[in-house]
């Protein structure tokens, strides 16, 4: 097993130094409403989910690799209270303008409401008792949650980011985590958007200004890490 020794992962635009003993994996919003054909985006909005479907087995592989190396896995779900009291007026307006008001009745219950089938994780993901599941009312997983405290309590300094959608909740969480001082590495082949243009645009943002925002790599590059070996 890989301990706290620092390893170098090949990444763009610069190598990413990582100690797996102080690293956590974030699996962002792989829930029915966003990712399942019968969920709100697939069934009600008719979104093409092919890119989302493609990342599921890759994320599963990364989860298993993290479990093997005792890396904390955290799953997030964008969701709100049944009375919608935690939906800000700004968010409700933005989501309404986009065509999917929070709380709208869909094929799997009310959109983004806690306890509805649509907010459940895909069947491909089964958190272990030692793993964490965070319900978040915003795009960033750090807004109105105890995620930062959980990570600090465990001495986590580095984050691996996966999930959907790349330009929305993944990028929002990435930027917030970076500002909180975490070292963030996006696994670009484990993230997806509803359009490739938006997916690529989000990656371009992270790589902007020659790495002033962060780092990007692929899951294959990460999984090839061996103890005492830099890639």
Q: 149: exposed, middle or buried (C-beta count within 10 Å: 0-12, 13-18, 19+)?
A: exposed
Q: Quote the domain boundaries for residue 63.
A: 7-35+49-84+120-223
| Active-site option among 35, 66, 169, 184 | 169
* 220 among known catalytic residues: no
For residue 1, tell me if it sits in a domain: no
Q: Which of 85, 84, 77 has its CA nearest to residue 103?
A: 84
* 136 among known catalytic residues: yes
Supply the pTM of this predicted model: 0.95
For residue 217, tell me if it sits in a domain: yes
For residue 113, the number of C-alpha atoms closer than 13 Å in the C-beta half-sphere is 17
Number of compact structural domains in the chain: 1
| Active-site option among 35, 136, 184, 191 | 136
For residue 61, tell me if it sits in a domain: yes
Measured from the Cβ of residue 213, the count of other Cβ atoms closer than 10 Å reads 17
Find the CATH number of the domain harbouring 135.
3.40.50.850
What average pLDDT does the segment 183-192 reach? 98
Interval 41-77: pLDDT, tens: 999 999 999 999 999 999 999 999 999 999 999 999 9
* 226 among known catalytic residues: no
Average confidence score pLDDT of the chain: 95
Percent with pLDDT over 90 in the chain: 94
């Amino acid at each position: 097993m890989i301990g706290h020794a620092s390893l170098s992962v090949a990444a763009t635009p610069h190598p990413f130094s990582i100690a797996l003993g102080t690293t956590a994996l974030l699996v962002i919003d792989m829930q029915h409403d966003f990712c399942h054909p019968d969920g709100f985006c697939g069934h009600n909005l008719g979104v093409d989910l092919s890119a989302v479907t493609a990342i599921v087995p890759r994320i599963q592989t990364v989860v298993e690799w993290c479990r093997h190396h005792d890396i904390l896995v955290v799953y997030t779900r964008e969701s709100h209270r049944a009375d919608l009291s935690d939906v800000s007026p700004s968010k409700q307006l933005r989501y309404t303008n986009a065509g999917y008001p929070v709380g709208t009745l869909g094929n799997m219950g009310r959109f983004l409401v806690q306890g509805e089938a649509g907010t459940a994780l895909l069947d491909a993901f089964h958190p272990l008792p030692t793993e964490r599941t965070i319900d978040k009312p915003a795009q960033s997983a750090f807004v109105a949650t105890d995620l930062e405290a959980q990570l600090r309590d465990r001495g986590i300094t580095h984050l691996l980011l996966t999930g959907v959608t790349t330009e929305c909740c993944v990028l929002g969480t990435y930027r917030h985590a970076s500002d909180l001082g975490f070292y963030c590495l996006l696994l670009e082949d484990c993230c997806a958007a509803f359009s490739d243009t938006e997916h690529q645009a989000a990656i371009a943002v992270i790589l902007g200004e020659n790495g002033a925002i962060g780092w990007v790599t692929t899951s294959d590059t990460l999984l090839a890490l061996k103890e005492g070996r830099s890639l």
